[in-house]
Amino acid sequence: MKHLTAANLARTPTGARIDLVMVAEMVERGVKVLDVGCGDGELLRLLSETRDVDGRGIELSREGVNECVAKGLAVIQGDADTDLADYPDDAFDYVILSQTLQATRHPRVVLEHMLRIGRHAIVSFPNFGHWTVRLQLLFAGHMPRTDILPYSWYDTPNIHHCTIKDFRQLCTEIGVKLEKAVALNAWGSPLRLNAPWWFWNLFGEQAVFLLSRKG
């Protein structure tokens, strides 16, 4: 099951998903990357084509994995919640969790592992503080459904939604350094960098965070 409906995520004129392009832009060239929850390998392919990285992936769905391997990508079937523990410290330069955080059972443990395995972590997620989400709960009185989060409450794979504010709070709690953050509005355009966090939290539909270990 896909966590998001990728078809509904905004794309660049060349067809690349804007959130993935944002992630790719945060990655240095020629580094070693682990993409956790890599789906059909779109980000890994983008990274190898545009950033010349040595990319590896973990994906929960068997279909996703087999599709990736058939494309020549180094992907294994595995679960972010259980299998990150098997990786040694400092094995990667970047560990990426793209649109998968909200589907993990233990987001905090996953994030801690990411920064143990990699020097940097990049996390992108749908912002549950977006105004359309808030309005649905406030006025319609039902669990929010959006273009990118179309599931009903009873069949959603997304079990740990958070807002941009929540995520920043978690970063503070586990002592992670926030290097860079980008929020995208519903049309996939980045919000103004000098906008205050409350503005991002209200108008950002998705967020991308670049993190590193403190010290």
Partner 1 sequence: MVEVTRSSAVEATDAPREADFPRDSLVAHFGVDRPLKLDAGVELRPFQIAYKTYGTLNADRSNAVLVCHALTGDQHVANVHPVTKKPGWWETMVGSRKPIDTERYFVICPNVIGACMGTTGPSSTNPNTGKPWGLDFPVITIRDMVRAQALLLDHLGIEQLFSVAGGSMGGMQVLQWATSYPERVFSALPIACATRHSAQNIAFHEVGRQAIMADPDWRGGRYHLEGTNPHRGLAVARMGAHITYLSDAALHRKFGRKFQDRDTPTFSFDADFEVESYLRYQGSSFVERFDANSYLYLTRAMDYFDLAADSGGVLANSFKSTPTRFCVISFTSDWLFPTSDSRAIVHALNASSARVSFAEIVTDKGHDAFLLDEPELFAIVRGFLDGAGKARGLTAKS
User: Site residues (CB under 8 A) for partner 1?
Assistant: 54, 56, 62, 65-66, 68-78, 83, 86-88, 91
Closest CB 68 distance from partner 1, rounded Å: 8
The set of long-range contacts for 56-61, using a CB threshold of 8 Å and a minimum separation of 24, is: 56/32, 56/92, 58/34, 58/83, 58/84, 61/1, 61/2
Of 56 and 161, which CB lies nearer to partner 1 in the complex structure? Answer: 56
Q: Are 130 and 198 in contact (CB under 8 A)?
A: no
Residue 50 C-beta: closest distance to partner 1, Å: 16
Closest distance to partner 1 from the beta carbon of 32 (Å): 8
| Residue among 117 and 121 whose Cβ is closer to partner 1 | 117
CB 41 within 8 A of CB 66: no
Give the whole-angstrom CA distance, residue 41 versus residue 22.
16
Closest CB 82 distance from partner 1, rounded Å: 11
Q: How many C-beta atoms surround the C-beta of residue 66 within 10 A?
A: 14
Closer residue to partner 1 in complex, CB, 31/202: 31
Which residues, at least 6 apart from 168, have a Cβ–Cβ distance to it below 8 Å?
A: 178, 197
**15 vs 88, beta carbon nearer partner 1:** 88
